[in-house]
Amino acid sequence: MFCYQCQETAGCTGCTKFGVCGKSPDLARMQDLLVYVTKGLCAVTTRLRQQGQSVSAEVNHYITINLFTTITNANFDNEIFYRRVAESLRIKDELLKKVENADTLPEAALWSAARRDEMDEKSYQVGILTTKDEDIRSLRELIIYGLKGLAAYMKHANELNYDSEEICAFMQKALAATLDDSLTVNDLIALTMETGKFGVDGMALLDAANTGTYGNPEVTRVNIGVRNRPGILVSGHDLRDLEQLLEQTQGTGVDVYTHSEMLPAHYYPAFKKYDNFVGNYGNAWWKQKEEFEAFRGPILMTTNCVVPPAASYKSRLFTTGAAGVAGCVHIDRDENGHKDFSQIIELAKTCEPPTELEQGEIIGGFAHNQVLALADKIVEAVKTGAIRKFFVMAGCDGRQKARNYYTDFAKALPKDTVILTAGCAKYKYNKLDLGDIGGIPRVLDAGQCNDSYSLALIALKLKEVFELQDINDLPIAFNIAWYEQKAVIVLLALLYLGVKNIHLGPTLPAFLSPNVAKVLVENFGIAGIGTVEDDIKLFLE
Ligand code: SF4
Ligand code: SF3
């Protein structure tokens, strides 16, 4: 196996024996094969569009979920990958019949298999390292990871009946382009930037879907303690799953708690009406082994990040959507999008209430609408010098010790600075008492990683208010923590918006070849992190 798509890749170069995340070599090669057949399918859909034919929303969504399923920590069930490969080939072979001059398509579009042994054989031949030129490989993977992140956001929008043929067409064209050996490094750099543009569009679509369906997030205090009733813990990013679970638990005596990236659900007005929606339990994804043990009730994983479960709570772990774990019950939607969570609710009724991990509250809900409502106050604070600088510290959390940098950084920031955050990166500092500036909390949480869009909108609005020509003239520094591929699309989106000098840590992506890294450093001032002391000095210069 060879995989280097996430930040914790072995030795900061690549997982070759077993994934640090828990991905086995067999799972890795099936993910490679699924990416390969999805590229082939995209070559076909792209050619069909060029020939004036349309592609159905159903096919678009199938492709989107294929990509999402291969995101780090989303799916650990080999069976799902065999099934998705087979179904992707079936769809592709059907569409291929409509293509004129099909023999000019790339090999991935023409390859097919009916049997598992054929799939197995192919899976060994289509890994990342089959692209020999390291710069081309680096750019192809950078684009693919950006598309995986974008696929996650599109999937959430689709669940709420928001869609965009234009974004899907781009995603498929870009994925197919990673098969094209005629593309140069410069062509691929241009495609990387275009991926960032569609990243902005995709995040805007999801923002419209979330706020259009559930209202604009409001400043909210979220309980982090527990009640004395059985509960269900919901993790991942899918708000529609949470909504269905809340509906189905009404009157059952079972409480619902959020975990990790589901925390921001509490900020939406639509979810405040459920009196069994108790609070948030635990921290970011990587602590789930201890926390799921302590929770004592069933857990529903709606997306990444799943840690392969310990035997002690495996029978309490359920998955849905793109998430999957071999041996855990997976709950599928019916043709109307309805999911029946009754077996989770029945199990919860037999379980003990959660063990309390902590007490108190955390505050969040500072998405764009809310922050822009405070714009006058914020602008005034900047003008009077009460706020010297904003630090965008969005992104992911992870288990590496080096990430304590972000806690130390937050603690060491001068008191006249404000942290803007989104994603599970926030758990490194959202329970610290960092105080406020004239009533504005020093940590403003916009929501999930996909709500990083809010932070971009806030920056653009401030640029307008301060009448600046360049977004980089704002008193905003970017110190982003990344882990998986959704952070890659957020990064590409920020680059597309012209944001420079982003610091990325705790380590730079292993998939950036020295030459590609050089392009990012020279053109965008991308940098890694140093010591907390040096970085704060640098940022406040
Ligand atoms: Fe390794 Fe990350 Fe790939 Fe898992 S997703 S195999 S940890 S690089
Ligand atoms: Fe976290 Fe996985 Fe990225 Fe959504 S839950 S930010 S790591």
DSSP string of 132-171?
Answer: -SHHHHHHHHHHHHHHHHHHHHHHHHHHTT---HHHHHHH
The pair of three-digit structure tokens given for residue 527, joined into one six-digit string: 């940098």
CATH classification at residue 196: 1.20.1270.20
Q: Which ligand is nearest to the CA of 286?
A: 2
Domain boundary among 149, 182, 213: 213
Question: Is the Cβ atom of 485 under 6 angstroms away from ligand 1?
Answer: no
Q: Which of 4, 7, 17, 20 to mutate to test the pocket of ligand 1 (most atoms within 8 A of CB)?
A: 20
Question: Which ligand has the nearest atom to the CA of 20?
Answer: 1
Angle at 250 between CA 248 and CA 254, to 5 degrees: 95
Mapped onto helix, strand or coil, the DSSP state of residue 527 is strand
Dist CA 273 CA 275 (whole Å): 6
Q: Do 200 and 232 have their domain in common?
A: no
User: Residue 147 Cα, ligand 1 centroid: separation in angstroms?
Assistant: 17
Alpha-carbon gap, residue 379 to 249, rounded angstroms: 43
Residues 8 and 27: their CA atoms lie apart, in Å, by 17
State which ligand 1 atom lies nearest to the alpha carbon of 72: 5
Q: Is residue 366 part of a domain?
A: no
Residues 228 and 204: beta-carbon distance below 8 Å: no
Residues 199 and 225 grouped into a single domain: no
474 found inside a domain: yes
Q: Are residues 94 and 38 in the same domain?
A: yes
E strand intervals along 287-328? 299-301, 317-320, 324-325
**Are 269 and 205 in the same domain?**
no
Nearest CA to ligand 1 atom 2: 6
**Sign of dihedral through CA atoms 433, 438, 443, 444?**
positive
Query: In the structure encoding, which two tokens stand for residue 103, read together?
Result: 């023999």
Count of the separate structural domains present in the chain: 3
Pairing mode, strands 443-445 and 476-481: unpaired
The answer to whether position 240 is within a domain reads yes
- Domain membership flag for residue 138: yes
Last residue of a domain, one of 162, 189, 213: 213
Q: Which atom of ligand 2 is nearest to the CA of 236?
A: 5
* pLDDT for res 541: 85
Whether residue 292 sits in one domain with residue 157? no
Type of residue found at 156: H
Which ligand is nearest to the Cα of residue 399, counting in written order? Answer: 2
Which of 165, 185, 213 delimits the end of a domain?
Answer: 213
Domain boundaries, position 380: 371-539
Answer yes or no: are the C-beta atoms of 423 and 392 closer than 8 Å: no
Rounded to the nearest whole angstrom, what is the distance from the C-alpha of residue 488 to the centroid of ligand 2? 11
Q: How do beta strands 324-325 and 75-76 pair? A: parallel
Residue whose CB lies within 8 A of the most ligand 1 atoms, among 1, 2, 5, 27, for a mutation test: 5
The answer to whether position 357 is within a domain reads: no
Residues 341 and 451 in one domain: no
Assigned domain for 516 exists: yes
Work out which ligand 2 atom sits closest to the CA atom of 398: 7
Residue nearest to atom 4 of ligand 2 (CA): 449
Q: Check pocket membership of 21 for ligand 1, CB cut-off 6 A.
A: yes
In a shared domain, residues 295 and 380: no
- 323 closest CA partner among 149, 156, 75: 75
Reduced to 3 DSSP states, what percent helix, strand and coil does the chain have, rounded to the nearest 5?
A: 50, 10, 35
Q: How far is CA 530 from CA 59, 417, 448, 533, in A?
A: 45, 19, 26, 8
The answer to whether 73 touches 484, Cβ cutoff 8 Å, is: yes
The answer to whether residues 205 and 251 belong to one domain is no
Phi, psi angle pair for 316, to nearest 5°: -95, -5
Residues 110 and 250 grouped into a single domain: no
Q: What is the CATH number of the domain that holds 307?
A: 3.40.50.2030
Q: For the chain, 541 residues long, give each residue's pLDDT as a single digit of tens.
A: 999 999 999 999 999 999 999 999 999 999 999 999 999 999 999 999 999 999 999 999 999 999 999 999 999 999 999 999 999 999 999 999 999 999 999 999 999 999 999 999 999 999 999 999 999 999 999 999 999 999 999 999 999 999 999 999 999 999 999 999 999 999 999 999 999 999 999 999 999 999 999 999 999 999 999 999 999 999 999 999 999 999 999 999 999 999 999 999 999 999 999 999 999 999 999 999 999 999 999 999 999 999 999 999 999 999 999 999 999 999 999 999 999 999 999 999 999 999 999 999 999 999 999 999 998 999 999 999 999 999 999 999 999 999 999 999 999 999 999 999 999 999 999 999 999 999 999 999 999 999 999 999 999 999 999 999 999 999 999 999 999 999 999 999 999 999 999 999 999 999 999 999 999 999 999 999 999 999 999 999 8
3-state secondary structure at position 421: strand
Q: What angle do CA 22, 306, 270 make, to 5 degrees?
A: 170
Q: Is residue 193 domain-shared with residue 295, that is, in the same domain?
A: no
Which two structure tokens, joined as six digits, stand for 283? 């921290």
Q: Do 334 and 277 lie in a common domain?
A: yes
Is position 440 within any domain? yes
Measure 305 CA to ligand 2 centroid, in angstroms. Answer: 6
Same domain (yes/no): 160, 196: yes
The answer as to whether 228 is a domain residue is yes
